[in-house]
Amino acid sequence: MPPGTFRDHFSAQAGGYATFRPTYPASLFTAIVALAPARRLAWDCATGNGQAAGALAPHFERVIATDASIAQVEAATPYPNVEYRVATAEQSGLEDSSVDFITVAQALHWFDLPAFGREARRVMAPGGVLAIWGYLLAEITPEVDQLVLELHNDIVGEYWPAGRDALLNRYEGLELPFEELPSPPAQMEHHWELAQLMGYLGTWSAVAAYRKQRGSDPLALVRERFERAWGNPSQLRAVRWPLHLHLYRKRTD
Please give the average pLDDT of every successive group of 10 residues along the chain, which has 253 residues.
45 56 92 97 95 96 97 92 97 98 95 96 98 96 98 97 89 95 95 96 94 97 98 97 97 76
Helix (H, G, I), strand (E, B) or coil at 99: strand
Domains and CATH numbers, the chain: 11-138+161-189+241-249 (3.40.50.150)
**Residue 72 exposure: Cα atoms within 13 Å on the Cβ side:** 26
Whole-prediction pTM:
0.86
**b/e burial code for range 73-108 (CB count within 10 A of at least 16 → b):** bebbeebeebebeebbbbebebeeebbbbbbbbbbb
Look at residues 252, 243, 250 and name the one whose alpha carbon lies nearest to residue 28: 243
Query: Roughly what angle, to the nearest 10 degrees, separates helices 223-230 and 194-201?
Result: 140
DSSP H or E run through 54 = helix 51-56
Q: What angle do CA 195, 200, 206 make, to 5 degrees?
A: 130
Query: Roughly what angle, to the nearest 10 degrees, separates helices 223-230 and 142-150?
Result: 170
182 vs 147: CA distance, rounded Å: 34
Predicted pLDDT of residue 253: 64
Cβ pair 238, 189 in contact under 8 A: yes
DSSP H or E run through 169 = none
Look at residues 75, 102, 63, 59 and name the one whose alpha carbon lies nearest to residue 17: 75
Predicted pLDDT of residue 251: 85
